[in-house]
Structures are given as C-alpha cells and as structure tokens.
Structure 1
C-alpha cells in the first residue's frame, strides 16, 4: 500500500465522519428551532468549526472550536460560550497565544494564568457573544512579564518562559 492509498483512506474516513456530524448538527438545529419557548439561556447563534493539521508524528490532528459540542453519550449540545480558535506558538524563551474572538470589546476580555502558571484562561462576555477557553502552556511562564493585546477581533497574549532556552545549568568541562 502506497502513502497515497493511506492518505486516501484517511480522507474517506474523515469525510464520512464530517458527513455524519453534519447530519447530527442539522437535526439538532431543526429540533432547537422547532422549540416554541424563549429561554435567556438559549444561544442566539450556532458556531462550529475545525482545523486539521499534521502532528509531529505524521498523523492528522483535528481541533474543534465553537459552541456546538459532541456529547459523550452521543448527540450534540449547544452551549453559551464559544471556544475560540487558538494557536500556541513557542519561540526560544517566549510563548505566544493567538485567539480569534470577534464581536467583543477589549474591556469585556479577561485573561489570567492558573496558580501553577502553566494554563492560560481566556474569557469574554460581550453583548452578543461569550468566549471561554483554558489553554495548556508548553512551559511554566513568568506572570509579571505577560502582555496581552486585542485588535480587529484577535487576542494576542505574549508570555515569557520561566526557564528560557534549554534549561539547566551549564557545567564547564576541564
């Protein structure tokens, strides 16, 4: 079997998966639309997306985002908070987290670090949208050196690693 046959097999499997997911989402949307009650907890919109990248081991990695989530017992649920699409970029000594969060004001956004400084927690609550995501960081960071900016619906958080470079203590060889 060639690599192209394997890629074709994987793509057919993903196509079936997304076709099934599309049917489930469509059925859930129709069910929600047919409900006659108006609840303040009912989301005003439905937002779902995914990103497929190649992992370091050569296998595809799928990351989902939005406010439509699969349930463990089957089916889907629509929640108030949107999980934003995020990227974590690690450079020498720094970590940059970029999150797409359109529809909120800068004042609506809260960014904080967990007690162990290894998880970034992003939340926002605007007029029409709510966002929430906990992002595990690849290294411990220095909280005092963290900077965040929000422009054109994109939140960028720059963090400095606690242990820059390869870490450890260099020992001189005699």
Structure 2
C-alpha cells in the first residue's frame, strides 16, 4: 500500500468523523431549542483540533485535542466537559519545557502536580466556563522543587529540570 493510499484512507476516516460531529451539533442545537436546560444555560461547546507531524519512521502522527472523543465501540462521538488541551513538550539537555494552550481560565484556576516518581505532570484548570485536564508522561524524571511555571495570554509554560541526564553514549572518532 502506498503512502497515497494511506492518506486517502486517512482523509475518508476524518471526513466521516467531521460529518458525525456536525450531525451531533445539529442534534444538540435542535434539542436545546426545543427544551432549554433548567435555569437557562446554553448548549455545550465543541472544541476539537488535531495536529499532524511526521514520526521518526516517516509516517504521519496525528495528535487530537479538545473535548470531542471518538468512541471506538460505536460509530459515534462523545462530548465531555473537560478539554484535553493542545500540548507541546520540548526536551533539552538538562530540562523539559511543556507548553499548553488553555484560554479562558485565570492563573489562580490552574493546578499543577508532579507525581512522586517525577515522571508524570498533571494539569487541571477549572473556571466558570472551562475545564481542562491533561496528564503528561514525561520522557525522564524531573525535580518538582525546581519547577517554574508561567501563564500569560492563555498559554501555560512549565519548565522542569531533569533529575537524570540522558546518556548520549560514546563518541566514535572518524579516521
């Protein structure tokens, strides 16, 4: 199978997925218009996106984010209250930088946790309108006492210092 065949299969799958999202949104708005939720309120929001990068094997890697999930057991989508935010992880020699898009919350709404083994970063944010949750398995253990975090214009940046350095191996001299 060529890469073009794979791409065509990939695009057909995404087209079906987006058609299902559109159908679900229309159904929710019809239901909301016919009978608004108690106490007023508004229909739930749909937040979905994806990022395509090239993997180390030369094949595309798709990372999804948002609050829309594909259910594998049925041909339906599921909308959840917690948003899985777009996240980038950049590993440097002695530190790891985690950048998370979380618009609509204030700095005081955000809670960060590092696991006891220093290998998992958990991000929770709760505001009146938005809920974010993300658990990130870090490539190496980090020191929670040296963590630094900033939040500006809807972007959370976390800088973590590694406790263990990745070994680079031995240099081979070229004759």
TM-score, normalised to structure 2, is 0.86
Task: Quote the offset at 1:10 in angstroms.
Answer: 2.5
Task: Quote the offset at 1:123 in angstroms.
Answer: 0.8
CA distance in structure 1 between the aligned counterparts of 2:134 and 2:43, rounded to whole angstroms: 17
CA distance in structure 2 between the aligned counterparts of 1:67 and 1:12, rounded to whole angstroms: 26
Question: Structure 1: any 5+ residue segments left out of the alignment?
Answer: 169-174
Asked whether the equivalents of residues 43 and 80 of structure 1 are also in contact (C-alpha less than 8 Å), the reply is: no
What is the aligned partner in structure 2 of residue 10 from structure 1? 6
CA distance in structure 2 between the aligned counterparts of 1:119 and 1:137, rounded to whole angstroms: 6
Task: Quote the offset at 1:167 in angstroms.
Answer: 7.9
SS of the residue corresponding to residue 10 of structure 1 reads helix
Identify if the C-alpha distance between structure 1 residues 139 and 31 changes in structure 2 by more than 3 Å, giving closer, same or farther: same
What is the aligned partner in structure 2 of residue 171 from structure 1? none
Give the alignment's Cα RMSD to 1 decimal: 2.1
CA distance in structure 1 between the aligned counterparts of 2:111 and 2:133, rounded to whole angstroms: 10
What is the aligned partner in structure 1 of residue 131 from structure 2? 130
Task: Quote the offset at 1:17 in angstroms.
Answer: 1.1
Aligned residues: 164
What is the aligned partner in structure 2 of residue 149 from structure 1? 150
Question: Structure 2: any 5+ residue segments left out of the alignment?
Answer: 170-175
CA distance in structure 2 between the aligned counterparts of 1:64 and 1:7, rounded to whole angstroms: 21
TM-score, normalised to structure 1, is 0.86
What is the aligned partner in structure 1 of residue 45 from structure 2? 45
